[in-house]
Each structure stands twice: as structure tokens, then as C-alpha cells.
Structure 1
């Protein structure tokens, strides 16, 4: 069995409203194989997202306008959905879209 994987997930810039202001330390135990951001998004949608999933996820990826930082680095530099999660990673989702 794989060792537990513990990551911190945080939402900001308005995205936190979709998650009732949650900042969450998430532990995955007993997972089969490595987890990547794609697996994490599926888990977030199923377990944390409280309303309006279309404002956070589009298809199988992030909705345009959501900045994803992994350990303070832009996920585009790290492989986006294919980035393999490591124990103690910090993932921050920030909405860059604002109403007017």
C-alpha cells in the first residue's frame, strides 16, 4: 500500500466562495499509484466544491481565469494536469475573474 499523501489545498480571489471559504489539509491514504492534479480536481469537485462547479472546472480541466499555483509556482511551468503530487505540496487556486 502506498504511503499517505498530505497536501494543502487553498482557494482565493473569489474562488473561496465556491468552497465556503475552506482552506484544507487533505490526506489521501491507500491510493493506487501516484496522484496528479487531474486526480485532485476530480476529488475536489466531488468532496469540496459546494456550488456552481462551472465557475471552477470546465470539462476535465480548470476553467480559464483560475490561476493554479503549486508550491508558489505556476502550474503551467510544472506540467499542469500531469503534475504528480508530492507529500506536503501546497496547491492554491486563485480566481482572476471579477464582476463589474
Structure 2
């Protein structure tokens, strides 16, 4: 089963307006590899607006199956077939 990536709260603008992306689980075994895959294949802005030194830049909440990654192993959190990963942007203009 693919991983389902949901992009909300403004994240969709980083990915050419996409609100959902399906990613083959075989190419992403943890959250970092998923973020690298997304940035290499779908990101429509500069990579440093999403990732810096192997970490998400500040301003994102990430949920795996509706649970904050802070309760897991952060970017090292292992992913399983069919997981739902939600990226929520907390950055807003003024």
C-alpha cells in the first residue's frame, strides 16, 4: 500500500497546489527519506523552504496517522505500508 501524504495549512502551495500525494512505501522507509523524496519529486519551491540539513525547517507540524511526530522519533520515525502523513504549515503572512 502506498503512503498517503496530506498537505494542509498552506503546505499545498509548496507542492504546486497538490493537497494529497501518494508515495510508494518501497522508496521511503522513514520520515526523512519521505521528505527527501517529496522535495526531489514534487516540491515547487526552493528545497531550503522545506528542508535544511536533513530536518524540516521550523513552521511545520507533522502527523503520522494523526499523531504528532514529536511523540515518535522525529525524522527517524519508521513508516509502514498505508501510513497517512500530514504536513501542516504554521507559517502565515501578515
- Normalization by structure 2: what TM-score? 0.89
**Match in the other structure for 1:25:** 22
Question: How many residues were matched structurally?
Answer: 93
Partner of 2:2: 6
Looking at secondary structure, tell me which structure has more helix per residue: 2
Distance in 1 (alpha carbons) for counterparts of 2:8 and 2:50: 12
How do residues 2-81 of structure 1 correspond to structure 2 at under 5 angstroms?
6-22=2-18, 23-29=20-26, 31=27, 35-81=29-75
Aligned equivalents of 1:85, 1:28: Cα separation in 2: 8
**Runs of 4+ with deviation above 3 angstroms:** none
The runs of 5 or more residues in structure 1 that have no matched partner are none
* 8 A Cα contact 1:15 1:56, kept in partner: no
Q: Secondary structure at the match of 1:86?
A: coil
Q: Which has the larger radius of gyration?
A: 1
C-alpha contact 1:67 1:96 (8 A) present in aligned 2? yes
State whether residues 11 and 21 of structure 1, in contact with CA within 8 Å, keep that contact through their aligned partners in structure 2. Answer: no
Structure 2's unaligned 5+ residue stretches are none
